[in-house]
Structure 1
Amino acid sequence: MSNPLVLGSSLPVPNVQELSRSDQIPERYFKADVDAASMASIDDDELPVIDLMKLLDPELVDREELLRLGSACKEWGFFQLINHGIPEEVIEKTKDDISKFFKLPLKEKEAIKQIPGHIEGYGQMFVHSEEQKLDWADILILAIQPPQNRNMRFWPTNPSTFRDTLETYTSKVARVVDCLYGLMAKDLGVDTQDMLNISRDQLQTVRINYYPPCKQANKVLGLSPHSDANALTVLLQANDVQGLQIRKNGKWFLIKPKPGAFIINIGDMMEIVTNGRYKSIEHRAIINMEEERLSIAAFHSPSLDVVLRPFHELIDSDGQLYKTLTVKEYTSEYFAGKLNGKNSLESVKLRK
């Protein structure tokens, strides 16, 4: 077994896109911790923006840009990536096909809905009880890499270009991630091959998110606060509606994606193997009162049998800060609970 999606399950929930057409919002979607008053904005000159071209072109190699990359991973756990080399037409086609899929009639989308005991397909995640508070979103989650993980029954055939578009987009994103692994190894001073070993038989899954508008947007969340379990996440905003927030110094900051940029965030597994040097970032999605928001997140993690332990170069006088465990063990624990901040990562820390 190599597909991480078979390690999780989720109870069926109502379709939120359909619920959004009504003025009546079920109580299960109201959350007490939205706390709009704690929100802040990030000035453009504060937001970490990394130029991949400066880091990869031998004639443009920029030591300061590498330092900026390291600082973003250590201080923010997040950055925007520009000049990543993925053609604009690939990105725009991906956005277009995502938008067209969610415009399909509900019956057609539900033809690829999740089946009991699995989270792959169209539906929701991390729902484990009938009393649990719910996120205001519908999602499509798919296994992408390695190819044998794919269950094509869940891959949309409408629009007709969806499968080819997703294949092209995700393969190019995976190459960008491999580049970032090498650059991160250089920043951390660890053996490049050791870093690349965590991407051996790399697992790639995507979560395509549809956040409908809500007349009581200040009472709901599209995605509960959490950090990602994997190593690196690449997020593409699929329309112009903002909603991603990250938590820093106790405040929620709204992210304003730059045109054509990817949002990259460090996941829990990267925090573990870097012995806490790089920080996974707690984030959430808020809802717009009038407009829908769409995004696609590509999650990258090592193969399920890879053992997660800090690189030896990063174990100093404080020792190893996280338990040694496999990717499968951590993923299983993560999927077993509801999204709740960084609780999963806290559970594997050796020192609280």
Structure 2
Amino acid sequence: MAEIFDKMKVEFVDQDECVQVVADNIRGTGEVPERYVRSEIMSDPAIDDAKGYNLPVIDMSRLLNPEFSEEETAKLGSACEHWGFFQLVNHGFNGELLQQIKADITEFFNLPLEEKLAVAIPPNGIQGFGHHFVFSKEQKLDWVDLLFLATRPVEERSLAFWPTKPSTFRDTLDRYSLGLANVSAQLFKFMANNLGVNHEALLGTFKGLPQSMRINYYPPCSQADKVLGLSPHTDGVGMTFLLQVNDVEGLQIRKDGKWFPVKAIPGALVVNIGDVLEILTNGKYKSIEHRAVINPVKERITIATFHSVHLGCTIGPLQELLKTDQAHYKVLDSVEFTKGYFAAKLEGRSTDVI
């Protein structure tokens, strides 16, 4: 995604305000600055106690086991078709690695501000520490600080934005990145099986599995009903993996026209379908709108990993799926598609239907 962004010449407004500092300044009696106040939260609240709205759970060990693979692949397809989200368990990650990456990310965000600014996002850049999607000085801002990095292919990394504190950060992130690349490649193959399409036809769009990570720090806010950690949006990629760094919840998905909170299973990866995969499947798999809300007393930290398209590809419904159905989406080249996604300012739906 970072390489595609470099080709697009999309301009952002410089924004060097650290939300963690803003949160510290208003703790107690201070008012939330107007730029962060989101009146739509009260008019579009989440349903907290809704039975039957727990995300499907997919077991990677069953997908890989010939005895159970067919049944679990059907469950995977159903989750992608009806939910667009699922929780992945038994994904093969070493527990020690997950604990280390959680510790490293937490330590980074606990560094003094001046040390985090050593890897700040440059003007009109996308990688580094700071804010994303700030297009105007009047625009409402999300209640989040982030660290965004291009992680794969390895040769496209900009290590100037990779923190050197803590000292284990780079190595840990590299190992986590490789593990997710392997998991995503496996999931794409099982999805192809479920869809009845050629593996290479699906994987070709994600040649080399371009990968980036957005590491999020959501400070607590005593006026949490006034702010949003992440505006409602869909992901303009193929597939996203979310790892909860701490046990504070905040992810919400829109289903049946209402918002529902996601209760993450400890150690699971929350996986969601992105706009690209919805288009490739001609709408069979769904890219679902989601948002992040803020806890009034506790910080929330997450790491979202995006698997995107490669430069030069075209994005449109797979031809094998059009033998029995008409195309519901336009065919776009990857740069045109991603530019449209960014121009939408990360708000709401972003896929184009014919």
| TM-score bracket, shorter-length normalisation | over 0.9
- Summarize the Cα distance change of 1:33–1:83 in structure 2 as closer, same or farther, 3 Å threshold: same
Correspondences of 1:291-302 after superposition (within 5 Å): 291-302=298-309
TM superposition shift of 1:316: 5.0
Matched, 1:53 2:95: no
Correspondences of 1:185-264 after superposition (within 5 Å): 185-264=192-271
TM superposition shift of 1:42: 5.2
- Summarize the Cα distance change of 1:214–1:82 in structure 2 as closer, same or farther, 3 Å threshold: same
Matched, 1:15 2:23: no
Correspondences of 1:304-343 after superposition (within 5 Å): 304-315=311-322, 318-342=325-349
SS at match of 1:80: strand
Contact 1:243–1:254 (8 Å) recurs in 2: yes
Matched, 1:174 2:176: no
SS at match of 1:239: coil
Correspondences of 1:27-46 after superposition (within 5 Å): 27-35=34-42, 37-41=45-49, 43=51, 46=54
Q: Which residue of 2 aligns with 1:349?
A: 353
TM superposition shift of 1:340: 1.2
Letter in 2 for 1:4: I
SS at match of 1:22: helix
Letter in 1 for 2:23: S
TM-score normalised over the length of structure 1: 0.95
TM superposition shift of 1:336: 2.3
Contact 2:151–2:211 (8 Å) recurs in 1: yes
Aligned partners of 1:72 and 1:42: how far apart in 2? 18
SS at match of 2:240: strand
Aligned partners of 2:309 and 2:95: how far apart in 1? 28
Aligned partners of 1:43 and 1:86: how far apart in 2? 30
Contact 2:54–2:263 (8 Å) recurs in 1: no
- Summarize the Cα distance change of 1:337–1:257 in structure 2 as closer, same or farther, 3 Å threshold: same
TM-score normalised over the length of structure 2: 0.94
Contact 1:181–1:196 (8 Å) recurs in 2: yes
Match of 2:96 among 78, 89, 99: 89
**Greater than 6 Å deviation, 4+ residue runs:** none
Q: Which runs of 5+ in 2 are unaligned?
A: none
Match of 1:112 among 112, 119, 127: 119
RMSD: 1.6
SS at match of 2:192: helix
Q: Which residue of 1 aligns with 2:275?
A: 268
SS at match of 1:34: helix
After TM superposition, the structure 1 stretch with the greater mean CA deviation from structure 2, 146-155 or 286-295, is 146-155
Contact 2:79–2:86 (8 Å) recurs in 1: yes
Aligned partners of 1:76 and 1:326: how far apart in 2? 27
Contact 2:2–2:126 (8 Å) recurs in 1: no
TM superposition shift of 1:334: 1.1
Q: Which runs of 5+ in 1 are unaligned?
A: none
Aligned partners of 2:184 and 2:207: how far apart in 1? 12
Contact 2:2–2:212 (8 Å) recurs in 1: no
Matched, 1:99 2:106: yes
- Summarize the Cα distance change of 1:100–1:56 in structure 2 as closer, same or farther, 3 Å threshold: same
Contact 1:122–1:139 (8 Å) recurs in 2: yes
Contact 1:123–1:139 (8 Å) recurs in 2: yes
TM superposition shift of 1:319: 1.0
